[in-house]
Amino acid sequence: MDYAHLSDEQLVILLAQKDEQALSLLYDRHARHVVGISMAVLRDQSQAEDVAQDVFVKLWRQPASYDAGRGRFAPWLLSVARHRAIDLLRSQHGDVSFDQPAGEALLFTLADDAAGPDEEAWLAERRRAVRAALVGLPAAQRQVIELAYFGGMTQSQIAGHLHEPLGTIKTRLRLAMHKLRDALAAGGLELELP
Amino acid sequence: MTCDEIRENLDIYALGALDGGDLREVASHLATCADCRAEAQRAEKAVAYLAFAAPPAPRVSADLKTRVLAAAHNERTPQARPSSGAPARRPRLSFRWPSFRLAPAAALASLVIALGVFAWALSLQGRLERQASEIAQLQVRSQQYREMTDLLTTPGLIERVMAATDTAPRATALMYLVPSGTKACLLARDLPTLPSNQAYQLWLIDASGQRTSGGVFRARSDGSAWLVFDAPRPLSTFAAAGVTIEPAGGSPGPTGARVLGGNL
């Protein structure tokens, strides 16, 4: 049976039947994205791949941990990977910090994006949309989003890291997310991830 | 906090960046306020888009998939039990038969393997444990074999001959690849058997002479071997390939004698 026409969500159902072909295909579709988001957090290919291995094996063991009612599979999988990567980052550094000035790092990756030839169109469309939205943010707002989302930092940790008052950081985070939502909506994207 | 004040914090909450008293207040408010919960979900959906900001990795290690599939195979979760965190048990006589939703050839292969294992299970339990691990490796191999047969039916496939060297004058190999793609396979014959502390390693060589590993493999007792692998970039960017003898487990770069070589 050719699984290529099956959706991710259908493949996860097959995973519950311990179908290895389904696991193999989900891996082929998403491994590079899982490693990619882990790289954004950990900045280390080998550790990012360890996270990817954990994530796919956990998916195999507990396919029921993905609930299709709460949104599409890809964002959920990336969220699991990001949390795992942040856990790993926190276990290594008592106080998370970046080598490069944060915000610069995300800008760098925004510049050299290249969609893979087999990337699904809807994924590529969302990546273009969110990256365009992020490019439109002032650097200071992009920076706090990166520290929170990819660095796993709390508002207080960000304030301490940047030597800014907590209130300033909260306002910056809030403004950044408002701008992001407006830009996504203006780009025609439903915020109900289909 | 009022609902308005809670909502001021929901974006930060959705980012996972809320802490301290703010986090406690928002969490306890959300437990009782359906409107704010709905608003929190909208905030979380916007945050979920940030996952797409990270670009996919340009490449992943060729053996990551093998490791994932092997780890999946080593799972011995009992079939009828609802998912629990129970660790895998020591296998007993009642082990799980392979699923017949596999493609017929693989199901037959699994059945044959399973019958063999069942016979073993009548003897020492330790032997069964070792056999289960071999099944896992065989099943990974069968997956790779399927990848290879898929490759061999791809349009645009070309064949490249690899010639022997003095180290193993009778060895020969063919490589099959689609130049615009990244998957390739090697089929080799008459390779000398290596001691257990050594293995063969395939190298892709680009125009500047840089070597990239295509994977480590062993020859069967009849001297034959096959390997299927994913290159980190299209095969048209490589000029040649070679096979050397390396320590078991491979090396970061070629260190041992070359047994096969050819242009791509």
- Interface confidence, given as ipTM, is 0.84
Q: What are phi and psi of B37, to 5 degrees?
A: -65, -40
For CA atoms B96, B100, B103, B104, the dihedral sign is positive
Contact B12 A181 (CB under 8 A): no
Q: Considering only residues B135 and A143, tell me which one the structure prediction assigns the higher pLDDT.
A: A143
The pLDDT tens digits for B73-120 are: 887 444 443 444 444 444 444 444 444 444 555 555 565 565 566 555
Among residues B199, B187, B190, the alpha carbon closest in space to that of B257 is found at: B199
The shortest CB-CB distance from A148 to any of B17, B55, B103 is to B17
Taking residues A103-126, report their average pLDDT.
58
User: Is A136 a residue whose pLDDT tops 80?
Assistant: yes
Q: Chain B window 14-33: which residues touch A at a Cβ cutoff of 8 Å?
A: 14-20, 22
User: Is B123 a residue whose pLDDT tops 80?
Assistant: no
Q: What are phi and psi of B245, to 5 degrees?
A: -95, 125
The shortest CB-CB distance from B60 to any of A24, A49, A113 is to A49
Among residues B179, B152, B188, the alpha carbon closest in space to that of B260 is found at: B188
Q: Chain B window 156-215: which residues touch A at a Cβ cutoff of 8 Å?
A: none
* Mutation target among A60, A67, A157, A190 for the B interface, most CBs of B within 10 A: A60
Mean pLDDT of chain A: 83
User: Is B235 a residue whose pLDDT tops 60?
Assistant: yes
Read off the pLDDT band of B133 (50, 70, 90). Answer: low
The pLDDT tens digits for A60-111 are: 999 888 987 777 899 899 999 999 999 998 888 755 555 444 445 554 455 4
Between A8-22, A31-45, A117-131, B123-137, the lowest mean confidence (pLDDT) is in B123-137
